[in-house]
Copies of this chain bind each other. A is one copy, B any other.
């Protein structure tokens, strides 16, 4: 399916999803900074204000805490809301509302109150924005019961996951990557949705399983291509959603290849990469042939210097190098 269709950008795929869902569900209200007439700092709401107006696209001043609380409260009262933190970094201003109120409300109310709020934010390093504008945080949300966590890597996935996220009964943390907004991909004309919880096999392979999300998927694919020329067949898997997690598809692949590499843009301590290594040893203890590897950002704040930041973040070279080392390891079973 993702073969036919038009080639559009990651940001436009989001705009399409929003337009379709806001037409389908007239209760949807979108709250954020610069998401009205401006069309979004990342062009992520381009053109929507013209169609839906001030009542449904609500610009606010600089008050993420209040705006997020308002979006959650409105959702509790029956309005499906989207609150756009723009930079995921700014979600920190509102974390108390997201973690204490949105994530807990269904459980605390015994299912009587739901908060269908989508918290949108763009993560990760982009054009040396520096330490304050480059955080990832997805593993924090994945550590919080009550939140679903979605990280699309392509325009196709973004549109399909966005639409299903806007049909969830409760809160969804929808995390885009800043440096993907201008990337392009094929998106079908006809409507489609992608259910949360289904990993995508980006590329089939038999020697090593590479798990990556968001921008790291592109690096993983490039590394896999480089390895192919050396006769190493790498399978690339993108979980697409951390909560719910498609544990089955991921562990099936690990069992098949016996080797696991996880690419993670966040620092490694208590990261999603750590979670995947834990899952691998829990579910694939006897099938793992060599020590699985975490390839994460270095444990430092994002440096402004391009020279330093390029060292800090996982690179294709680093991935290829790590996998070279891994392939040299004598297979335990042999």
Contacts and interface: CB of A to CB of B under 8 A. Distances in A.
B92 A143 contact: no
Nearest to A138: B270
A142 B270 contact: yes
A132 to B, nearest CB: 5
Given A291-B282, A294-B278, A93 B96 contact: yes
Interface in A67-98: 89-90, 92-93, 95-96
Contacts of A108: 130-131, 301
A269 B143 contact: yes
A89 B139 CA distance: 18
A103 B301 contact: yes
A36 interface: no
Interface string A146-184: 100000000000000000000000000000000000000
A128 B248 CA distance: 35
A92 to B, nearest CB: 4
A145 interface: yes
Interface in A106-131: 107-108, 130-131
Interface string A245-288: 10000000000000000000011111111110110111001101
Contacts of A93: 96
A207 B290 CA distance: 24
A205 interface: no
A104 B303 CA distance: 10
Instruction: Enumerate the 8 nearest inter-chain pairs by beta-carbon distance, A residue then B residue, closest first.
Output: A277-B278, A139-B270, A92-B96, A274-B278, A145-B299, A281-B281, A104-B301, A274-B275
